[in-house]
Structure 1
């Protein structure tokens, strides 16, 4: 029988496994990526006048879309090393980019190589059950008239709105080139950051109310957990600002001048997201200070009550100690009313002390 298993059920918020997940990545060690069990290839080939949608299970089926005059979005869901090597060879993708696609825990970045643009960033999702921020690495490669996107998970992404826009005749994306498609992909990833931050904001509000109403050691554990999730958010959001800025400053011929204004709009969004992350971090520090201040105030109240009780019992202790001494001659020791006089003093003096304390505003 493993006692720690049952302790985790009783105290689920005190686990430290999340810390290892966040800080356990070592970039000097070659990561071991688990091969995907299934690969889904989704292709949207479109222009202003038409759009065709295809779904494949073999990466070779998407190769003919490289040389089409129309724009193609090729989305690969599920990564296998052999498939990535085939795609890189056919689409003339540098082997260093292929390594980045298969990497794990990479920092968001943007590279320009051989008249092509490549960026790597993370999609963020909020797990309501675990109250944690989950990440999924996505790579985007833009060539002439095509955009390749590589996802780790074949069951979730944030591109459903983009798919619906592609299916809609007359939409702006159908009238634009591959650079606008690349912008749309990055824009939807960044816009979903605000959805995740909204969930974190609700969680922060809940913890703040708990601190004010009825804080406990479990509340401090929740604060610590929220700080870890903000670290995940900061690690994935802040570098994207440099990524988007790289698209704005690039001289790649694939990037049209009219598309730069859209990337500038995305840059404004990511700057706002970065500011929100910093605000959340400041709020967490304030909440931690609030918890500690409230704990100190509670301790002071307890010590204050104990000090008052000790002061009120002091007269009774002194009187009882005097009349309890083993001397032959003590005033009123053999008086028939001595007991009542002593008890009266024990009651009257504390009552008088309470009146003095209240008058001076000590409690």
Structure 2
């Protein structure tokens, strides 16, 4: 069976220093370092039990009238640009502190209550199979009385397609359960996507367990360190999400229907499970590092064993050759016509006897 090889990023070189990755940290009061999006896509889903409307608006002002509709509106903004964010936050009465959090990059996952609205920000995480790295974007969600507004950085990808499919399906619960249920559904699909990333990391760890057994070299160590670093970044990103979901459970806001509490509890169970899996994978990577060093030690022991056996076998032959190499005139065997052949024969016999004894004792 062909041996599977773990793919390695092209630029990965364990002997060459790499630039340090910028950690996800940006003070709330700091200026936004996000580059404004070139294209902003605004999608609106306006739903009620007997009505469904899906539209992509060209200008943010076209989404303002959905504040007055009787159903539940979901406004999803792909691409962050200050003009659009400020306009929609002003029209929907979103607090300016929430607006700052939406515009600032690198926010820690959190949940806040601002007046008659609930706000949460959390990472949406993807796995890049080409570079074997984790990529993430910041997602901000604002929950109001009859609306949910979500802000995403990447216009090309997200994990909300299952939500869109349910909103298009007549008779689905999400179309009639209210804005808080829609907010739960968005959180649930984001957190469920974490398990997809964990599965990919788990596959890499399983492959590395086989690679370490056969290829304990510097490239293998670089792969292990790459996995360890990605797990660290993943763990750092999702750890605060537990408190975010717990904030919804503790909240006494009128925006949250008591009947929907059980759904947020289910999301809390998911993020706890995800955190536990992350810790398990972290322990597995630590074990991989220990296994790598064990394999190195075993290889070194094998080398030392071979050298010790060769040295031991050659020791008596060296002694004999040293004795007969002395320049003394009065040596009985020195002038013997068959002395050379006798000496070589004795050396060969000693060598064979030592090899037999070592083999019998299981030393090689």
TM-score of the superposed pair, with normalisation by structure 2: 0.94
**Mapped partners of 1:301, 1:331: distance in 2:** 43
**Mapped partners of 2:320, 2:32: distance in 1:** 78
Match of 1:91 in 2: 92
Q: How many residue pairs are counted as aligned between the two chains?
A: 355
Unmatched tracts of structure 2, length 5 or more: 1-7
Deviation at 1:236, TM superposition (A): 1.5
Report SS of the residue matched to 2:20. helix
Deviation at 1:22, TM superposition (A): 4.5
Match of 1:301 in 2: 302
Match of 1:35 in 2: 36
1:111-126 aligned at under 5 Å gives the runs 111-126=112-127
**Mapped partners of 1:354, 1:102: distance in 2:** 76
Deviation at 1:23, TM superposition (A): 3.3
Give the conservation status (yes or no) of the 8 Å contact 2:26–2:104: no
Give the conservation status (yes or no) of the 8 Å contact 1:41–1:75: yes
1:50-89 aligned at under 5 Å gives the runs 50-89=51-90
**Mapped partners of 2:54, 2:234: distance in 1:** 34
Change (3 A) 1:144 1:360: same
Deviation at 1:208, TM superposition (A): 1.3
Report SS of the residue matched to 1:305. helix
Unmatched tracts of structure 1, length 5 or more: 1-7
Report SS of the residue matched to 2:239. helix
Give the conservation status (yes or no) of the 8 Å contact 2:79–2:155: yes
Deviation at 1:348, TM superposition (A): 1.2
**Mapped partners of 1:285, 1:90: distance in 2:** 51
Change (3 A) 1:149 1:285: same
**Mapped partners of 2:193, 2:11: distance in 1:** 32
1:17-28 aligned at under 5 Å gives the runs 17=18, 20-23=20-23, 25=25, 27=27
Structure with higher helix content? 1
> Larger deviation: 24-33 or 83-92?
24-33
**Mapped partners of 2:145, 2:249: distance in 1:** 18
**Mapped partners of 2:17, 2:163: distance in 1:** 38
Change (3 A) 1:277 1:57: same
Report SS of the residue matched to 1:125. strand
Deviation at 1:358, TM superposition (A): 2.4
Report SS of the residue matched to 1:23. coil
The answer to whether residue 362 in structure 2 is matched with residue 361 in structure 1 is yes
> Larger deviation: 294-303 or 202-211?
202-211
Match of 2:289 in 1: 288
**Mapped partners of 2:30, 2:338: distance in 1:** 89
Change (3 A) 1:246 1:188: same
Write out per-residue CA displacement over residues 147-187 of structure 1, whole angstroms, 9 at most, x where no aligned residue: 00000011100001110100000001012100000000000
Match of 1:192 in 2: 193
Give the conservation status (yes or no) of the 8 Å contact 1:110–1:243: yes
Deviation at 1:16, TM superposition (A): 5.2
Change (3 A) 1:92 1:16: farther
Aligned-CA RMSD value: 1.7
Match of 1:201 in 2: 202
The answer to whether residue 132 in structure 2 is matched with residue 131 in structure 1 is yes
Report SS of the residue matched to 1:185. helix
Match of 1:276 in 2: 277
Write out per-residue CA displacement over residues 75-126 of structure 1, whole angstroms, 9 at most, x where no aligned residue: 0111111221112211111111111101111111111110211000011111
